[in-house]
Amino acid sequence: MRRLVVPALAAIAVVLGLAVPASATPQPPEPLEYVALGDSYSAASGVLPLDPTASPLCLRSTRNYPHVLAARLGARLTDVTCGAAETTHFRTAQYPGVAPQLDALDAGTDLVTMTIGGNDSSVFIGAILACGVAGTASLGLGSPCADQYGSSFTDTVEGTTYPALVQALRDVRAAAPHARVVIVGYPWILPAAGGCFPLMPVARGDVPYLRNLQATLNGAIERAARRTGATYVDMSRVSEGRDACRPIGVRWVEPVLVGTNPVIVHPNALGEQAIAEQVARALPGR
């Protein structure tokens, strides 16, 4: 009832020529102060057009999920996402002229989003490259990557990436104590089995191997979020069937060969829109 009474009284006062107290005049809500952190999956590296406010080295797109989400929320966006970022780049400069990402946060920040962790120790991106080389050499046969590297990649995720994620999220919380902190998992790059050699030059037997590595990384991100009170956005279920082996218009991640993005094995604009949708759904009242 109060919402109806105050505007009605203000309207009557205007008609009678009376002064309207500032407190009685409805004020539009302040937009959310939204800061986007993270790596190339947050920056949408490879999706054009590039953000003219960013360092060219970051390959940040104006169509990345932070921009899509900010438009949907009517938020005031500060976007410091940068391709190839690691958790260490929250605290240290990534490139000359590219400040530590945590510098964008303060006590007035309302919302923080990020996708991060895949570049740490080169474990995730490095594994995809290593398995691509091995798969090409074997002409897509066998499981040369799993045979060569075994559990080394997943061991690194559990032993190195996970604690780094926990520390990064704690640092974000310290820099933005009043913000809702959201960390997003990585959408599926490969199907559960089979693959699509040579579009994704991963040997058939290594496709489940890389899927397991990605599941391990996403699991580490989810546990780090839970441990630090952040919100985890799981992309696994919604991105099933949207991997890089699917056709244009279906896939959310571009393949190595015959893709539409100059930056391979990264989300396309459709994938960035999907991530924005999932983040929006995870926010209260949205």
- Total number of domains in the chain: 2
DSSP reduced 3-state for 202: coil
pLDDT tens digits, one per residue of 52-82: 999 999 999 999 999 999 999 999 999 999 9
Residue 27 pLDDT grade (very low, low, confident, very high; cuts 50, 70, 90): confident
Do 39 and 22 have their domain in common?
no
Cβ atoms of 232 and 220 closer than 8 Å = no
Query: pTM (2 decimals)?
Result: 0.89
Average pLDDT over residues 121-137: 93
Write the pLDDT tens digit of every residue in 139-170: 999 999 999 999 999 999 999 999 999 999 99
User: Are residues 233 and 112 both part of a single domain?
Assistant: yes
- Per-residue model confidence (pLDDT) at position 196: 98
The count of other CB atoms within 10 Å of the CB of residue 75 is 18
Structure-block tokens of residue 254:
């571009």
How do residues 214-263 score in pLDDT, each as one tens digit? Answer: 999 999 999 999 999 999 999 999 999 999 999 999 999 999 999 999 99
Same domain flag for 167 and 206? yes
Are both 89 and 193 inside the same structural domain? yes
12 and 121 together in one domain: no
With pLDDT > 90 as the criterion, what percentage of the chain qualifies?
Answer: 87
Q: 15 versus 31: which is more confidently predicted?
A: 31
Give the pairing type, strands 76-79 and 33-36. parallel
- H or E element, residue 231: strand 231-233
Q: What are 130's two structure tokens? A: 């290593």
Are both 174 and 39 inside the same structural domain?
yes
Measured CA to CA, the distance from residue 14 to residue 176 in angstroms comes to 42
- Whichever domain contains 278, its CATH number is 3.40.50.1110
Tell me the CA end-to-end span of the chain in Å, nearest whole number.
Answer: 23
d(CA 65, CA 36): 9
Task: State the Cα–Cα distance between residues 247 and 179, nearest whole angstrom.
Answer: 38
My answer on whether 24 and 36 are in the same domain is no
> Domain of 87?
31-282
How many CB atoms neighbour CB 165 within 10 A? 27
Q: What is the pLDDT of residue 5?
A: 38
Say yes or no: 24 and 48 in one domain.
no
Q: Is 172 helix (H, G, I), strand (E, B) or coil?
A: helix
Claim to verify: residue 254 and residue 179 sit in the same structural domain:
yes
**What's the CA gap between 286 and 284, in Å, rounded?**
6
273: left (phi over 0), alpha (psi -120 to 50) or beta: alpha
**143 annotated active-site:** no
Q: Which of 23, 40, 143, 151 is catalytic?
A: 40
Q: Catalytic: 40?
A: yes
Strands of 231-233's sheet, edge to edge?
Answer: 76-79, 33-36, 111-114, 180-184, 231-233
Angle subtended at Cα 253 by Cα 83 and Cα 32, rounded to the nearest 5 degrees: 55
Residues 124 and 36 in one domain: yes
Q: Are residues 178 and 274 in the same domain?
A: yes
Domain check: are 146 and 235 in the same one?
yes
Phi, psi of 144 (to 5 degrees): -60, -30
Nearest-10 crossing angle of helices 162-175, 207-228: 40
- The total of other beta-carbon atoms located within 10 Å of residue 72's CB is 15
Distance CA 50, CA 59 (A): 6
Using DSSP's 3-state secondary structure scheme, residue 50 falls into strand
Backbone angles phi, psi at 52, to 5 degrees: -70, -15
